[in-house]
Chain A
Amino acid sequence: AQSVAQPEDQVNVAEGNPLTVKCTYSVSGNPYLFWYVQYPNRGLQFLLKYITGDNLVKGSYGFEAEFNKSQTSFHLKKPSALVSDSALYFCAVRDIAGNTPLVFGKGTRLSVIA
């Protein structure tokens, strides 16, 4: 079975500071990993994904994520946070070997304070 954990319900960061939103996963084989962002009363928007290759993945709006196989993590990062980054962030995983849909974490609410 595949699963995702986002250990923090809420992350607060000052504008201009670096931000990290944590994600760990569990799959039986190798993972495909995704990050999405959701603004209030909207659908989810794709930020970035790791399929294979370079462990550091760059995505939309200046976000990046680092795949760490030994720690089974895929933390989302941004060097300098903006107030407009405040939103709900979801990590998702799928097992490469399986033929099953994405499994999502419970989400982390990011609040960037001016």
Chain B
Amino acid sequence: DGGITQSPKYLFRKEGQNVTLSCEQNLNHDAMYWYRQDPGQGLRLIYYSQIVNDFQKGDIAEGYSVSREKKESFPLTVTSAQKNPTAFYLCASSGQLNTGELFFGEGSRLTVL
């Protein structure tokens, strides 16, 4: 089936460790996105990419890094510089940046111990 796969679904990390969240899509979409979701704050954009080998910072990029080496893949690294990394992370893709709806993965819940 076509869709977006995020892994792992649950992840625990010790303070000071980097962690990478995987996002893969087989929808042949050009644009991919990472959002962070915290209770009562909605979705906040971390990074997005409109094309391979190019990406832009969103509203809360500090402490995060991404790469877009393949059209299908857009991994997110949560670095030790992120002050409050415990959150629900959502990856999405769209076929068209402006008019296309976003297709979301099932999310990854990161907990820092």
- B16 contacts chain A at the CB level, 8 A cutoff: no
Distance of A49 Cα from B100 Cα, bound (Å): 9
| Interchain CB contact under 8 A, B42 and A90 | yes
Given A41-B107, A43-B104, A45-B104, A32 contacting B41 (CB threshold 8 A): no
| Interface bracket on B | 20 to 34
Residues in A lying within 8 Å of B, measured CB to CB:
9, 32, 34, 36, 41-46, 49, 51, 90, 94, 96, 98-99, 101-107
Please, could you name 24 A-B residue pairs with CB atoms under 8 Å apart, sorted by A?
A9-B40, A32-B99, A34-B101, A34-B102, A36-B104, A41-B109, A43-B90, A43-B92, A43-B105, A43-B106, A44-B43, A44-B92, A44-B102, A44-B104, A45-B104, A49-B101, A101-B31, A101-B45, A101-B48, A101-B58, A102-B102, A103-B45, A104-B35, A104-B43
B residues adjacent to A (C-beta < 8 A): 4, 6, 31, 33, 35, 40-43, 45, 48, 58, 88, 90, 92, 97-99, 101-107, 109
Closest Cβ of chain A to B97, distance in Å, is 6
A42 with B42: in contact, given A32-B99, A99-B98, A101-B48 (CB under 8 Å)? no
A41 — which chain B residues lie within 8 A by C-beta?
88, 107, 109
Residues B42 and A104 in contact, CB atoms below 8 Å apart: yes
CB <8 Å contact, A101 and B40? no
A106 and B90 contacting across the interface, CB-CB below 8 Å = no
Q: Are the CB atoms of A94 and B98 closer together than 8 Å?
A: yes
A9, A96, A106: which contacts B98 (Cβ < 8 A)? A96
CB distance from B92 to the nearest CB of A (A): 8
Q: How far is the CB of A45 from chain B (nearest CB, A)?
A: 7
Report the minimal beta-carbon distance from A111 to chain B, rounded to whole angstroms.
Answer: 16
Which chain A positions have C-beta within 8 A of B42?
Answer: 90, 104-107
How far in angstroms is the closest Cβ of chain A from B21?
A: 13
Chain A to chain B: the 9 pairs with minimum beta-carbon distance, closest first: A43-B104, A106-B42, A104-B43, A46-B101, A44-B104, A43-B106, A104-B42, A101-B48, A107-B42
